[in-house]
Amino acid sequence: MQPSLVRLTAGETPAPHPARIPYRRALAWKPAWEEEDPPMPVFVTQRAYIRLCASAGSDLENEVGGWLAGKWCRDPQTDQQFIVIETAIPAQHVNNGAAYITFTPESMLALHDRLQEEDAQKRILGWYHTHPRMGIFFSMWDAWLHNNFFPEPWQVALVMEPHSKSGGFFIRQANGALDQRRYYGFYELLHRVKKRSVVHWSNLLPVQAPGSAEGEM
């Protein structure tokens, strides 16, 4: 895989979408040790979460992966940046095995075609992949791929373990550093009417989202 072939960020300097941070209709899911807020709050729609779980369960023996797409936002009242993952796009044309996955140039071109078909306004917010029977961590190869293809501070990585039904986000700190052993949870955007959670990952606990910001997307 050659990092110079495709870069999964816009050619021009991007700007965040102005929107109130939607804590009011979100449920926080955090690992037990997470005491401080993540450097970049990650909101996930229920539809995107279901698609992620379906993709993770499509192959329980080999790594699978794909891309996270949606909105990169900034709350104009608090100046807080956050992302909203609205869809998961499984990668095609990959080379994969029990402990590796490689995105080919063909898979990345297919991604851009898919985005043009669905919604050209969505941004690539990062990527996801599975670690069957290996746990939630970021390998040296994962870090290399993340830094070369997803260099923006608002781009994140999700690792899922389908056998234990667990997952976590790897998010850069304000100084750009990424802890390969520390993952974060996320905010589940609840249905406006039903307001029932669909999250079932065993390593995350539900926590009431902050109530100081009362915005809507």
Domain assignment present for 11 = no
Domain assignment present for 2 = no
pLDDT(110) > 70: yes
Report for 69-73, 95-99, 110-114: range of highest mean pLDDT: 69-73
Q: Cβ(6)–Cβ(108) under 8 Å? A: yes
Domain assignment present for 46 = yes
pLDDT(149) > 70: yes
Mean pLDDT of the residues in the chain: 87
CATH number for the domain spanning 98: value is 3.40.140.10
Average pLDDT rounded to a whole number, residues 68-91: 95
What's the pLDDT score for residue 213? Answer: 41
Domain assignment present for 213 = no
Domain assignment present for 6 = no
Q: Give the span between the Cα atoms of 19 and 75, in whole angstroms.
A: 5
Give me the number of domains the chain comprises.
1
Lowest pLDDT segment from 10-14, 38-42, 159-163, 177-181: 10-14
What are the tens digits of pLDDT across the range 38-68? Answer: 899 999 999 999 999 999 999 999 999 999 9
What's the pLDDT score for residue 156? Answer: 98
Average pLDDT rounded to a whole number, residues 173-185: 92
Domain assignment present for 3 = no
Rounded alpha-carbon distances, angstroms, from residue 146 to 19, 139, 156: 27, 10, 8
What's the pLDDT score for residue 164? Answer: 96
When pLDDT is cut at 50, 70 and 90, the band that residue 13 belongs to is low
Helix (H, G, I), strand (E, B) or coil at 104: coil
Question: Which of residues 199 and 114 earns the better pLDDT score?
Answer: 199
Q: Give the span between the Cα atoms of 128 and 167, in whole angstroms.
A: 10
Question: Which of residues 172 and 107 earns the better pLDDT score?
Answer: 172
What's the pLDDT score for residue 31? Answer: 95
Domain assignment present for 216 = no
Average pLDDT rounded to a whole number, residues 199-211: 88
Q: What's the domain range around 192?
A: 17-208
What's the pLDDT score for residue 120? Answer: 66
pLDDT(35) > 90: no
When pLDDT is cut at 50, 70 and 90, the band that residue 2 belongs to is very low
Domain assignment present for 40 = yes
* Residue among 145, 144, 162, 146 at smallest CA distance from 62: 162
Helix (H) or strand (E) holding 169: strand 166-170
